[in-house]
Amino acid sequence: MKWLLLLSLLALSECIVHKVPLVKKKSLRKNLIEKGLLKDYLKTHTLNRASKYFPKDVFASGSTESLENYLDTEYFGTISIGTPAQDFTVIFDTGSSNLWVPSTYCSSAACSVHNQFNPDDSSTFEATSETISITYGTGSMTGILGYDTVNVGGIEDTNQIFGLSESEPGSFLYYAPLDGILDIDDESGSVVMFGGIDSSYYTGSLNWVPVSYEGYWQITVDSITMDGETIACADGCQAIVDTGTSLLAGPTSAISNIQSYIGASENSDGEMVVSCSYMYSLPNIVFTINGVQYPVPASAYILEEDGACMSGFEGMDLDTSTGELWILGDVFIRQYFTVFDRANNQLGFAAVA
C-alpha cells in the first residue's frame, strides 16, 4: 500500500520551493511486535501520551517540551548538520518545536543504533552551557544545546540551535526507526516543501483556515459526520494538525463510539482491529472545517499491514484551556495537501492530486 503525505511550509521571506523526499520505513509497531513488546508499550503509552498537547506545560520552561510519535506510518526525511555535513533521518513534526539528534556524548543503547552527531568533526560547531530535556510518553532525552549549520532540502541555516542528546533512556527510541526530531511550529511517494506551494500536488483550490489558538497549529472543526449523521464534535471542537501523530485522535468517549461504528475491537496486543473487508464498504467520515467538508474514506482510516487491519482512530483525552482537543494526524493529512502558513497564521487544505 502506498501512502502519500504532502505538506508545504511557507515563510514570509522565502519564495523558492525546496523539496525534501519523505520515506516510510519499518514501523515502530512492527519492531515492537517482533520483540513481543507491543502490548506493554500500548498500555504505558495510553497513560502518558497526552502530555505533548498541554500548552501550559510546554511553555513553562524554555528548555523543556513534551513530544510523542505513535506507532505506525511514520514519515522521515534526511537533514544534515555541521561542516562537513553529517546526515540524520528525522521526523518533520508540526506538533513540537525543538530540533535534536543523537550525539557522541550519548551512551544510551538507543544512541548506539542510530547516527550520532560528532561536534569534534564539525568546524562550524559552537557549544553552549545550556541544557535540554524532552519528555516522551514512554521515554525521554536529555542533552545540551549547540549551534551549527543545518541544511534542510537545500535551505541552509548557518547558525541553527539544536539539541545533542546525552541520554535516551527506555525502549521507545531504541526501536524507533528515526535518529531525531525536526520540529516545524520502505516506501517513497511523499514530500515536504519549504517556502512555497507546488500546485501540481493538489486538485481544485486551497481552502484557508485561520489558526484558532497560537500554541500549536490549532483550528476549529465544525462537526464530524458519517452518512450525514453527526457522530462527534456536534457543537464544534478544536483540533491540532500534527504531522508527528500517525492516527486520528480525539476524546475517548467520542472515539469509542466511532470504533463501534466501524466495527473495531481490541485484540490481545491491545490494538483496535477491524475486518479488512470493511475498507471497501464503510462510509466516509467527514470533517467539516470552516464550512468545507473533508471526507476521510475507510481506505484511509483503516490501516493495513501484513494482512491485518487496524483502526486509524485512537482515544486521547486532552482537556486544555480551549476545551477538548482532536488531533488530525497522518490519517487525515495523507488525504489533503496541507499548507502551514506561518506568516499569515493559517492552514490551507486541498485534495491531493
> Cα angle at 346 between 239 and 204, to 5 degrees?
95
DSSP secondary structure string for all residues of 209-233: EE-SEETBEEEEE-EEEETTEEEE-
Tell me which of 179, 183, 242, 330 is the catalytic residue: 242
What backbone torsions phi and psi does residue 57 show, to the nearest 5 degrees?
Answer: -70, -40
Q: Is the dihedral of CA 24, 28, 29, 30 positive or negative?
A: positive
What residues have CB less than 8 Å from 100, skipping those under 6 apart? 132, 134, 141, 143, 162, 163, 164, 165, 180, 181
Tell me, yes or no, if 242 is annotated catalytic: yes
Other beta carbons within 10 angstroms of residue 42's beta carbon come to 22
Altogether, the residues listed in the chain come to a count of 353
Tell me which of 93, 179, 183, 341 is the catalytic residue: 93
Q: Is the dihedral of CA 121, 177, 61, 170 positive or negative?
A: negative
Q: Which amino acid is at 279?
A: M
Q: Which three cell numbers stand for residue 214?
A: 497560537
What backbone torsions phi and psi does residue 311 show, to the nearest 5 degrees?
Answer: -70, 140
Residues with catalytic annotation?
93, 242
